[in-house]
Structure formats: C-alpha cells, structure tokens
C-alpha cells in the first residue's frame, strides 16, 4: 500500500469512520491479527464466539483498527448492515450508503467514483446478520474488506478472526488503568463478568461514578444468574417496510423513497429542514403535514421521508409531486452534488404527475368507479384429501357461520372453500379471484399441505400481499392463520417459510389447542370445537381491520411457490 503524508493519527479525507471507542479494552493483539489477515486476504470476517454471540466488541475492534492503521489507507468507509436479515432491504441499505460514498468522493476529489477500487481503500461492513449474503455487495477491485458479524456462516477459517472473552489479567489491568479501580475491585469485577468486555466497561463506569459499589454489582449479578431462563418466545413475522396506500404503484413509491434518501436533501437534519422550508413556500404544499418537520429529531431520515410520501400519495396532486422534484433540484444545484438522484426524483415525479393528471381528467367526464370488492372475507386452504372432505367442509361451514354473524352482515360472501370448485376452466379463475382478494387465509395444515402445488401457491400469494402492504416493522398485519388440522409427525421438519406463521396468535392469550382439529370434528367434540371456532373467528374479525391490498391477477401464477425446502417424502 502507498504511504500517506497525513499526520500519524489523521483519518483519510474520504471517510465516515465513527470516533475511536473510549474506553476500548484489551484488543491490541486482535487488532494486529486483523491487519495481518488483511495483508493476506482481501476479505476478513471478525466474529463473536459461536456459543456466546453477544457483544464481544467486534464492531469496536473494526473501528479501532481503522483509527490505528489509518496510515495504510487513503479511503475508509463503513457500511452499517444493521443486522438486516432480509436480502431486499439489505440491498437497499447498501445502495443508499454506496451513493453517499459516491457523492462524498465526487465532492472531495472532483471526479466520479467509477472503475475498480484500490488496495489502499478499506471497506467495513458492520453488523452483518449473515456474512454469506454480503459477497454480492463487495466492491470490485483490490479494496480491503472487513466484515463484523455475530456468526461465521460458511466463511473460510483462515480468513476470519474470533473476538472472544478477555483474559483475566488483561481485565484487571485495564480496569485499574482506565477506570481508576484498585486491584481488589478490579479482580472482583473480572471474576464476575467472565471476560465480557461490554459488561466490564459498563460496570467499571458505574463503580467509578459512585453509583454502585463493586460488591453491589457482584451481588446483583449473582442473583440474576440464579433466575431460570425465560421461556422461548415464538418468532415474529418478518418485518416489512413502511405502510402506504394499496392503489399506489409499488415500484414508483419504492423508487421515489430510495432516490430521496440518497439525495442531498436527506444528507442530514439540516439539509432536510431547509428542504421542508422550501417545499412549504410552494402553493401546492399547503397540505404538507406538520409531522414531517415537527419533532424530526426524534425520527430517522427514513421515517421522515415515509411521512412525506404518505402525504404525497394521499393527495395524488401533480403540482405537489412536481414541487417536491423542483425543490430537490434546487437543493442539488446549491450543493453541487447529487445530480443523479435529483434526476431520478424528477423522472418519477413526472411519471406520477402524468398518471394523476390523466386520472383527474377522466374523473371529470366519467363517474367514479367503485373500488374493487373482495370475492370473500376468508379462504380455507387445504390439501383436498377425499378421506376427510366431509370433516373439512363442516369445519369451514362452522367457521363461515360464526364469522358472518360477527361481521354483522358487512360482507356478502364470507368464506371460500376450494374443494367446492371443480377442476377445470371454471374452477381456476374463481380460485385465483378468491386468493388474490381475500382478507385472510386459514390453511388446514397437514404434511401433504406443504407438497401440493396449489397450496404452496396460495401461501405465496398471501405472503406477497402482506409484503405489498409494507407495514411498519412490528405492526405488520396477520393474513395467514394456520390451523393444525392433522399435525405432522414428530420427525417432520417444518419448512422455513412456515416457521414465522405457525405461532400466529388467534387465541387472545389463551393456550392454543395442542391436538388435531380434525379430531374435534370427526369425534363430535362439540364444546371444544365450538370454543376453538369461536376464538378463531373473533381473532379473524379483529385482524381484518387492517386493509390488505389485492394482487394483480397475472401475478398469481408467476409467483415462486412457497416451501422450497419442503421434504421430499411421499404423502
């Protein structure tokens, strides 16, 4: 690598490296090992212990490496992966942060960032959920790449570095030097936290500030360790992006959001506030909600943009969306950077303005068309087995009666049972119409369910519709309520697609029925069956308050089938 003329500890001109962690304890040897590995390998993984993957300082090690070896690099850039497990959202994060690097490069050096990277560049991909998914995001060329993760994936052992517990003598020494503790206090804390650096630093800071004594820290920690571990919680449904109106094209919303987040108006809070002030001066922006500028310090940049886009797409005003593009262009000209994203915003805005203008002209000459109605409220999906057809139909009818009563006549068609359709030309269109518009799907789970193509397609359609809604993480709607009709045998491995949904709560906190619902029907256990159906129906009505967008008809057959990892055993 070429030598630098910068002062010894000065960072490169192009960098977004956070400040040096302070205090950062006891990793001198590991930092030196990371440098040695980066001299031998273009990409190196720094990871926590596989059996104790929490907070051992891999991120701090990577940042400290950049500060300590700054003379070896002419560019340093940190990509925050935020432990994002979803490949699409991870790709979006990487694209946004790459654009920030491109703009910084062009602004500082006066030329675009293109071509292969140099060996004296350092890219840090921090907090990867799965290091194996990052390879496609690595730059072309010879830049050194340092990845931090809690796991190892399939990374080659000779190109990865374990960040494990600190040795007891190092802990004692560092607590004495950095925290001002005496040897007895330092030794007691070293024994209490078993080499975990984050715990040691927090405890040392608390003792040093006089908030607690070493004995109090040790006593409370010992008491906490006596408590039994909490019960394992079911995995939640996958997080989804922010909510938007169902009748807005997904591509337009997603592209506009991405372009704005990568533009100069969203560089920081100051640039965002100036943009809002400019936008409010436009006559068409009178509908701009106060929420997009009041209290923005409490929101992330992505949340600010989502609030703004909610207003844009709610109004469907050509003048409003054009004002948005105009103000972005003006800010870009003033900053003299980010023209590519400003042009992208302009193109999307003009496309939307033309679409909305045409819609308004049609509305002046034609009566407003009613919104597309759902063909049914819920869809009973099952394996179509002759052996239990009568029981499945009875269960569906009981559920439909209960749901219809609870809805109070608000729907004309409550349930759809696909066995009632005959296979052929008249069957398939009705099945497609039902699954693409229904609000809820109730799959009757058996081993064979995961192997039947139409069951797999029905499941894929509902998952796609949930994704199209783009709910705020933690507020995603429930659209699939599995019923264990005949539970798979104990040695059956559930498909990965099914796992996030198998614990969908539809029992109001009460323990779910642990047996086969088929047995309740077949054995005429009326009390247990009615209780189960009533609880399920009540939850279905409650969940239906959130709108679920319909899916285009032509997409139903084009979606990849769910349960790709289904077992190959015969039914």
Closest of 21, 48, 46, 47 to residue 36, by C-alpha:
46
Question: pLDDT tens per residue, the chain (571 residues)?
Answer: 344 467 777 889 899 998 876 555 567 788 889 998 998 888 999 988 876 656 667 888 899 899 888 888 989 999 999 888 888 889 889 989 999 999 999 888 888 888 788 888 999 999 999 898 888 899 888 889 999 998 888 888 889 998 877 777 877 777 776 666 778 877 877 777 666 666 776 676 677 677 777 777 677 666 655 555 555 544 443 333 333 333 444 567 777 877 787 788 887 777 888 888 888 777 554 456 554 555 555 566 777 787 788 777 777 778 888 888 888 988 888 887 777 778 878 888 888 888 777 655 544 444 433 446 677 889 999 887 778 888 999 999 999 988 888 876 555 568 888 764 444 444 577 888 889 989 999 999 988 888 888 888 999 899 888 887 765 555 667 889 999 999 887 777 778 778 767 655 454 445 567 788 999 999 999 999 998 898 888 888 887 777 788 888 888 888 888 887 764 444 3
Predicted confidence at residue 525, as pLDDT, reads: 92
Q: Which residue has the tokens 């992006």?
A: 241
Tell me which H or E stretch contains 415: strand 415-417
C-alpha distances (whole Å) from 293 to each of 78, 271, 448 are: 28, 12, 53
3-state class (DSSP) for residue 327 = helix
Q: How far apart are CA 518 and CA 521, in angstroms?
A: 5
43-47 and 144-149 strand pairing: parallel
Structure pTM? 0.40
Predicted confidence at residue 2, as pLDDT, reads: 40
335's tokens: 């900053």
Q: How far apart are CA 10 and CA 31, in angstroms?
A: 18
329's tokens: 């262009």
Q: How far apart are CA 82 and CA 428, in angstroms?
A: 43
**Strand ranges of the sheet holding 75-80, from the earlier edge strand across to the other edge:** 14-15, 75-80, 121-128, 144-149, 43-47, 160-162
415-417 and 378-381 strand pairing: parallel
Closest of 284, 266, 256 to residue 338, by C-alpha:
266
Q: Give pairs for 216-225: CB < 8 Å, separation 24+.
A: 217/189, 217/192, 218/188, 218/189, 218/192, 221/192, 221/193, 222/192
For the chain, how many residues are written?
Answer: 571
Q: How far apart are CA 351 and CA 336, in angstroms?
A: 25
Q: How far apart are CA 185 and CA 168, in angstroms?
A: 13
Residue pair 461/435 in contact (Cβ under 8 Å)? The answer is yes
Closest of 456, 466, 476 to residue 551, by C-alpha:
466
Q: How far apart are CA 292 and CA 352, in angstroms?
A: 21
Q: How far apart are CA 560 and CA 114, in angstroms?
A: 35
Predicted confidence at residue 76, as pLDDT, reads: 94
CB hemisphere CA count around 565 (13 angstroms): 8
**Strand ranges of the sheet holding 378-381, from the earlier edge strand across to the other edge:** 415-417, 378-381, 440-443
Residue pair 505/558 in contact (Cβ under 8 Å)? The answer is no
Beta carbons within 10 angstroms of residue 2's beta carbon = 10
Closest of 270, 349, 259 to residue 305, by C-alpha:
259
DSSP string spanning 83-122?
A: T---HHHHHHHHHHHHHHHHHHHHHHHSS---SPBPTTEE
DSSP string spanning 301-341?
A: HHHHHHHHHHHHHHHT-HHHHHHHHHHHHHHHHHHT--HHH
Please report the sign of the dihedral spanned by the C-alpha atoms of residue 152, residue 158, residue 161, residue 166: positive
Closest of 183, 217, 215, 220 to residue 200, by C-alpha:
217
Cβ-based neighbours of 183, under 8 Å, separated by 6 or more: 172, 176
Predicted confidence at residue 396, as pLDDT, reads: 92
Predicted confidence at residue 509, as pLDDT, reads: 47
212's tokens: 């607690």
Longest dimension (CA), the chain: 86
3-state class (DSSP) for residue 231 = coil
């Amino acid at each position: 690598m070429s030598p630098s003329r910068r002062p010894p500890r000065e960072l490169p001109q192009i960098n977004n490296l956070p400040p040096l962690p302070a205090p950062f304890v006891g990793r001198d040897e590991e930092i030196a090992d990371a440098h040695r590995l980066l001299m031998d390998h273009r990409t190196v993984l720094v990871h926590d212990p596989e059996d104790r993957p929490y907070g051992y300082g891999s991120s701090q090690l990577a940042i400290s490496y950049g500060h300590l070896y700054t003379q070896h690099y002419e560019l340093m850039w940190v990509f925050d992966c935020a432990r994002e497990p979803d490949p699409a959202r991870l790709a979006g994060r990487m694209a946004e942060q790459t654009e920030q690097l491109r703009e910084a490069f062009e602004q500082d050096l006066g030329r675009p960032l293109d071509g292969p990277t140099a060996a004296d560049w350092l890219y840090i991909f921090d907090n990867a959920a799965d290091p194996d998914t990052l390879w496609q995001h690595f730059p072309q060329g010879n830049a050194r790449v340092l990845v931090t993760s809690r796991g190892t994936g399939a990374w080659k052992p000779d190109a990865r570095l374990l960040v494990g517990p600190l040795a007891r003598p190092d802990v004692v020494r560092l607590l004495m030097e950095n925290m001002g503790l005496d040897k007895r206090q330092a030794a007691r804390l070293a024994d209490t936290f078993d080499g975990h650096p984050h715990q040691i630093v927090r405890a040392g800071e608390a003792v040093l500030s006089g908030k607690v004594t070493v004995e109090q820290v040790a006593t409370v920690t010992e008491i906490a360790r006596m408590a039994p571990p909490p019960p394992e919680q079911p995995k939640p449904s996958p997080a989804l992006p922010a909510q938007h109106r169902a009748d807005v094209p997904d591509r337009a919303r997603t592209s506009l959001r991405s372009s704005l987040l990568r533009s100069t108006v969203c560089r920081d809070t100051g640039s965002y506030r100036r943009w809002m002030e400019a936008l409010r001066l436009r006559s068409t922006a009178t509908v701009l909600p106060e929420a997009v500028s009041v209290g923005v310090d409490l929101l992330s940049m992505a949340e600010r943009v989502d609030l703004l886009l909610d207003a844009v797409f709610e109004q469907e005003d050509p003048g409003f969306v054009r004002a948005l593009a105009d103000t972005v262009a003006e800010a870009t000209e003033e900053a003299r950077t980010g023209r590519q994203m400003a042009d992208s915003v302009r193109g999307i805005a003009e496309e939307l303005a033309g679409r909305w203008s045409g819609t308004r002209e049609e509305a002046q000459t034609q009566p407003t068309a009613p919104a597309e109605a759902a063909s049914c409220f819920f869809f009973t999906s099952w394996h179509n087995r002759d052996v239990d057809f009568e029981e499945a139909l009875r269960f569906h009818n009981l559920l439909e009666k209960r749901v219809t009563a609870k809805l109070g006549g608000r729907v004309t068609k409550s349930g759809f049972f696909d066995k009632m359709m005959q296979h052929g030309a008249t069957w398939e269109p009705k099945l497609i119409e039902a699954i693409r518009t229904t609000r809820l799907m109730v799959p009757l789970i058996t081993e064979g369910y995961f192997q039947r193509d139409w069951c797999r397609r029905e499941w894929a359609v509902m998952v796609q519709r949930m994704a199209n809604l783009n709910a705020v993480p933690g507020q995603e709607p429930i659209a699939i309520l599995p019923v264990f009709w005949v539970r798979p045998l104990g040695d059956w491995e559930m498909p990965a697609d099914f796992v996030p949904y198998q614990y969908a709560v539809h029992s109001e906190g009460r323990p779910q029925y642990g047996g086969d619902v088929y047995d309740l029907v077949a054995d005429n256990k009326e009390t247990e069956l009615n209780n189960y159906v009533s609880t399920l129906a009540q939850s279905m009505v409650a969940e239906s308050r959130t709108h679920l967008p319909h899916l285009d008809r032509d997409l139903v057959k084009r979606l990849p089938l769910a349960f790709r990892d289904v077992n190959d055993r015969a039914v």
